[in-house]
Structure formats: C-alpha cells, structure tokens
C-alpha cells in the first residue's frame, strides 16, 4: 500500500512523519474538491420582487457570499461580499458581468476557474430564489 511505504522507517531509524502528514493532507484536500453542481438557470423575471438579497454557496474548497440587487424585474447589480477560493479570483468579475448581461445564473464558466465560477453562480441563484414573490 502506498501510505504504508510512506510511514516506513528510514535506514537511520527516523520515522518519515512529514511524508505521512503530506499524504493525509492531500487526501483531505482531494476529498473536499468534489465537483460543484449547477443549480441555476434563466431568471423568471416576472416573479422577481425588487430589493437586495444575500446569497451564499459553498462547493468544494470554495465559498461565495453575494448581495444581489433586483429592480424592475432584473438583476441590476451584484456585489461580491466574500469569496474563498484557492485559484479562482479571476472568475469574480467576469462571472458577475455575464450573469447581469444574460439575466441568468447559468452562464459560461471562466476557463481555469470553473469551480469558483459555479460557486458564484450558485450563490447568485440562492439570492434570486429569495427574490421570487409568492
């Protein structure tokens, strides 16, 4: 087994703890990087109620908190309140711009920042769900 080789004793009698810890940390990181599902789609604009709504979504190692402003049955502004990401900062502005332009929470993801893009889209979708009137 791979991990059993990592925890073996070296010829000098020192346990190779550093490699074992690295193996465990990589396994935890890998387990936390499951694919984020897409939950959004085009807006049902006639149902949107004006106001500002918070949306939060966590997927894998990423989390996004957004404030979405609705006016005249449209998304007019999205503020990125918080974005926890490993490699996906570049997804913020482009994803938010696409959502506003297309009036949809399902837009093309930013290449190289797919998970961050999906987490942002899903956070906006959660805010939009709060904006739907009964």
- Tens-place pLDDT, residues 62-119: 999 999 999 999 999 999 999 998 778 889 999 999 999 999 999 999 999 999 999 9
pLDDT for 20? 64
| Spatial contact of 108 and 98, defined as CB atoms under 8 Å apart | yes
64 close to 83: Cβ distance less than 8 angstroms: yes
Q: How far apart are CA 110 and CA 133, in angstroms?
A: 31
Query: Is residue 119 domain-resident?
Result: yes
Predicted confidence (pLDDT) at residue 56 exceeds the cutoff of 60: yes
47 and 133 Cβ atoms separated by less than 8 Å:
yes
- Indicate if 21 and 54 belong to the same structural domain: no
Residue 37 belongs to a domain: no
- Contact in structure between 67 and 81 (CB atoms under 8 Å): yes
Question: Could you tell me the pTM of the whole model?
Answer: 0.75
One domain for residues 53 and 88:
yes
| Residues 49 and 103 occupy one common structural domain | yes
**CATH number of the domain that residue 54 is part of:** 3.90.1010.20
Instruction: Please say if the pLDDT value at position 10 is more than 60.
Output: no
Which residues constitute the domain of residue 13? Answer: 2-31
Total number of domains constituting the chain: 2
For 87, the token pair is 């490699």
Q: Is 38 exposed, middle or buried (0-12, 13-18, 19+ CB in 10 A)?
A: middle
Angle at 66 between CA 90 and CA 104, to 5 degrees: 80
53 and 25 in a common domain: no
Task: For residue 39, tell me if it sits in a domain.
Answer: no
Give the confidence band of 30 by pLDDT, cuts at 50, 70, 90: low
Task: Return the pLDDT at 9.
Answer: 55
Q: And the tokens for 118?
A: 């999906």
DSSP code for 36? P
């Amino acid at each position: 087994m791979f991990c059993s080789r990592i925890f073996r004793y070296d010829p000098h009698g020192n346990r190779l703890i550093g490699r074992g810890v690295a193996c465990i940390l990589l396994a935890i990181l890998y387990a936390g990087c499951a694919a984020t599902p897409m939950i959004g789609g085009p807006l049902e604009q006639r149902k949107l109620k004006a106001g500002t709504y918070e949306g939060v979504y966590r997927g894998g190692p990423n989390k996004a908190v957004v404030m979405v402003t609705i006016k005249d049955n449209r998304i007019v502004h999205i503020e990125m309140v918080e974005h926890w990401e490993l490699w996906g900062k570049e997804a913020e502005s482009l994803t938010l711009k696409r959502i506003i332009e297309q009036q949809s929470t399902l837009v093309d993801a930013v290449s190289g920042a797919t998970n961050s893009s999906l987490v942002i889209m899903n956070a906006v979708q959660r805010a939009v769900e709060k904006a739907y009137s009964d």
